Homo-oligomer: A and B are copies of this chain.
Amino acid sequence: MASICAMRVALIGFGTVGQSLVNVLHEKEAYLKKEYGLNIELVAVSDIMKGSVMDDDGLDKVELLKLVAETGSIGAYPKGVKGLSSVETIRRSEADVVIEVAWTNLETGEPGITHIKEALRSEKHVVTSNKGPIALAYKELMNLADENNVKLLYECTVMSGTPVISMASNGLAGNRVKAFKGILNGTTNYILTKMSEGESYGSALKEAQRLGYAEAEPSADVEGWDAVGKTVILANTLMSAGLSPNMVERKGITEVTSEDVENAEDNGGVIKLIAQAWMEEERVKAKVSPELIEFDDPLANVTGAMNALTLTTEGLGDVTIIGKGAGGVETAHGILSDLLAIHRANLG
């Protein structure tokens, strides 16, 4: 590798994903320089709960991780500009890329949409794992990125770092996606797997909560809202569908009974919460619902918290990808792959 390029990144959100990312970037510094000729410098971190620090000369990743682990805040970081809001950080930082990993709101998309617009308008590339902005404002944001000649990448909005978006837009470039069918929510797949092993819905949900897969208030998962958000992202980005979440037919798993699960086995399959989209009368239709998946379908073997997606393509028939759908380290690796895609595009 002839020379080392520098990429300055600003991080908006310093929760599990943000901290995992900073740790991965630290651990892989030497590897990224050697293999990709890339030095990723962290120049700002801003989190509404944990504080904000900006230094265009670069922040010490280890020091930041230590501070937040010990004090829950980065307020005591010894250098840089402190206390800027996320929007001020995005505007004033000299970052090349803004990484938006703040919280997801599938009704308004905020504050993610505001963060991403500010970044694109100030001609900074954006990498995000935030489903809200991509589900609700994909076309507007992508146009804004094009106008400002920067990239907006969002691999981790669906199946965390498992590269479904890259597969569709790079690996399957030139090959239209006609339909898709997937298991996009790990919590419900874990619960349904436990039910197929004989547990009741209630005890499987409790176990999922104990393991941290499900929230105390589990409706975003079990009512299918999380899967709806991901379905809209896939339908809009891979099939130009122009859907909003309320246009997706939705049924969660709360009414699936142990009897349903047993009957499914007798009928040669298993019940899975399936997110799908297809063409009907030249329009894209989408649905999230419990469905019988036959034993010989690649999705039938996807158990526990794993995710999977089958794309039906024009030229290749069905292509299925199976991998993890959540997790800090997993998402951090997906964000890293997006950063490397920006680096690759810059190199030409």
- Which A residues lie at the B interface, using CB under 8 A? 24, 28, 31-32, 36, 155, 160-163, 166-167, 170-176, 295-298, 300-303, 313-324, 329-330, 332-334, 336-337, 339-341, 344-348
Contact = CB atoms under 8 A, between A and B. Distances in A.
Contacts of A347: 345
A13 B14 CA distance: 54
30 contacts: A28-B174, A32-B174, A36-B174, A161-B175, A163-B171, A163-B172, A163-B319, A166-B167, A166-B170, A166-B171, A170-B170, A170-B171, A170-B337, A170-B344, A171-B171, A173-B340, A174-B333, A174-B336, A174-B339, A175-B333, A296-B303, A297-B301, A298-B301, A298-B302, A315-B329, A316-B333, A316-B334, A317-B330, A319-B322, A346-B348
Contacts of A163: 167, 170-172, 319
A161 B315 contact: yes
**Copies held by the complex:** 2
Contact of A319 (B162, B170, B313, B345): B162
A173 B301 contact: no
A101 to B, nearest CB: 16
A54 B339 CA distance: 41
A171 B341 CA distance: 9
Nearest to A334: B316
A162 B341 CA distance: 20
A347 B319 CA distance: 28
Contacts of A341: 170, 173
Given A161-B175, A344-B345, A345-B345, 12 more contacts: A155-B171, A161-B316, A163-B172, A166-B170, A167-B321, A174-B333, A174-B339, A301-B301, A315-B333, A316-B324, A319-B323, A345-B347
Nearest to A311: B323
A189 to B, nearest CB: 14
B330 A315 contact: yes
Most chain B beta-carbon neighbours within 10 Å: one of A173, A317, A337: A173
A192 to B, nearest CB: 15
A296 B321 CA distance: 16
